[in-house]
Structure 1
């Protein structure tokens, strides 16, 4: 009897733990991006988005695509969250690769979602699904390890220790580094959401291919700084990468606002 109870408890812990390992940016990071995006929406875009999401804010909608992974009916969405590459690319090489890309990945699905949301006669249920996915994936591709290497599943296979706790390189960038800041998503967004009009214009005019290239180059540098089995000094790692992390969260939010304003503004 006691053994059965223990098994159930362990299973419950495992079920709660596994989703955290697959969430790009983690719950807090996604909401930070969403909160930043909301601050740059035009009034027209804000009204149109509210008509689709209802009482759900962009920040809260940011997590739907991860939470729905618990429902097998939505398992087909799994590969929409990332795009991995088999080698480092120059920007022209990446542009050529993406031009021929027919895989089900973040790049092809971003283009699909944007195209669908431009349609005036799209059913409400589709609008809701596609908007939630668009919000999430724009944020996802600004997490460097979601544009990383195919061979190690975006850093998931690189096992490291974070403050002596076993984890992997992908998860450090999804959750641990963000949670280390010990801020709520609103506090975090307020702390880093300082941009100039010039920065916003420059970031928003960049095509999706440029977003992916930037993130993949950052991923290459991150790989070079962590070996499989390494005990990572969290304090040192935070000091080195916090500015990069914050900049990617900020870019993700600003670019998401740009896409939403173009679609609905």
Structure 2
């Protein structure tokens, strides 16, 4: 019995560590649930052929879970979850820097996976894996610090406190800020997904590069308004809840656009 309990504790600790790399279970599922609400009929039928009856939210965290695999098969995919860019305010300079970065990274892999899914010659099993990653990585794109800065590892080196607990800027945005809202993923998706069709179309407009610059601008805003070593609580939530919810909604709507196009 003690051995079983110890194994469960170790498993929980390992999974908790991995969730620190991106939105966390709730955030990724919110993005996936919103995306599912905006899929075309054709996209839904194609998805059913590839991943069956499971909802997108079911697979939303799988690319983080496989980081616990001990075979090393998925080790190269760890770099897919982010791209680091020197702070930029000029979109052309940013885009040039983004395209020039050696891959694989978040930008190159969203493009690569989209091509794989769209290609009719891609085997079904490969399409399924590509879909699992794409669902997750577009969610990562919406988390601004995944388009953050190399010198602090996307905020991981910026230490602070949130409601008295030691954390860092990246982890705060990955999970703690989302979890502090106290919604289930389906509840959060429901309360956020209330824009008009015209507003949704506007959010979905632009190129992938535009979306990366959008997240980068939000990251710059977060950096400028968060001080290392500070203890935050309700004040930080008050300041950033609108931005947090914007990113979750934008991630879901933009994921839907990509899936409708590639499927």
TM-score normalised over the length of structure 2: 0.93
Greater CA deviation, 107-116 or 80-89?
Answer: 80-89
From the superposition, tell whether residues 227 and 61 of structure 1 become closer, same or farther in structure 2 (CA, over 3 Å). Answer: same
Rounded Cα–Cα distance in structure 2 between residues aligned with 1:14 and 1:63: 16
Question: Which residue does the alignment assign to 1:260?
Answer: 259
1:69-218 matched pairs, under 5 angstroms = 69-71=67-69, 72-218=72-218
SS state of the match for residue 73, structure 1? Answer: coil
Greater CA deviation, 202-211 or 159-168?
Answer: 202-211
Rounded Cα–Cα distance in structure 2 between residues aligned with 1:45 and 1:89: 36
Rounded Cα–Cα distance in structure 1 between residues aligned with 2:259 and 2:8: 42
The runs of 5 or more residues in structure 1 that have no matched partner are: none
Deviation at 1:14, TM superposition (A): 3.6
Contact 1:94/1:209 (<8 A) preserved: no
Contact 2:113/2:130 (<8 A) preserved: yes
From the superposition, tell whether residues 10 and 28 of structure 1 become closer, same or farther in structure 2 (CA, over 3 Å). Answer: closer
Deviation at 1:257, TM superposition (A): 0.5
- For 1:51-104, what per-residue CA distance to the aligned partner results, in whole angstroms no more than 9, with x for missing partners? 111132111111111111111321111011111112324101012223323321
Greater CA deviation, 85-94 or 242-251?
Answer: 85-94
Contact 1:35/1:186 (<8 A) preserved: yes
Deviation at 1:13, TM superposition (A): 5.6
Deviation at 1:17, TM superposition (A): 3.0
From the superposition, tell whether residues 56 and 9 of structure 1 become closer, same or farther in structure 2 (CA, over 3 Å). Answer: closer
Contact 2:85/2:148 (<8 A) preserved: yes
Output the aligned Cα RMSD: 2.0
Question: Which residue does the alignment assign to 1:231?
Answer: 231
Greater CA deviation, 81-90 or 126-135?
Answer: 81-90
Greater CA deviation, 148-157 or 78-87?
Answer: 78-87
Question: Which residue does the alignment assign to 2:20?
Answer: 21
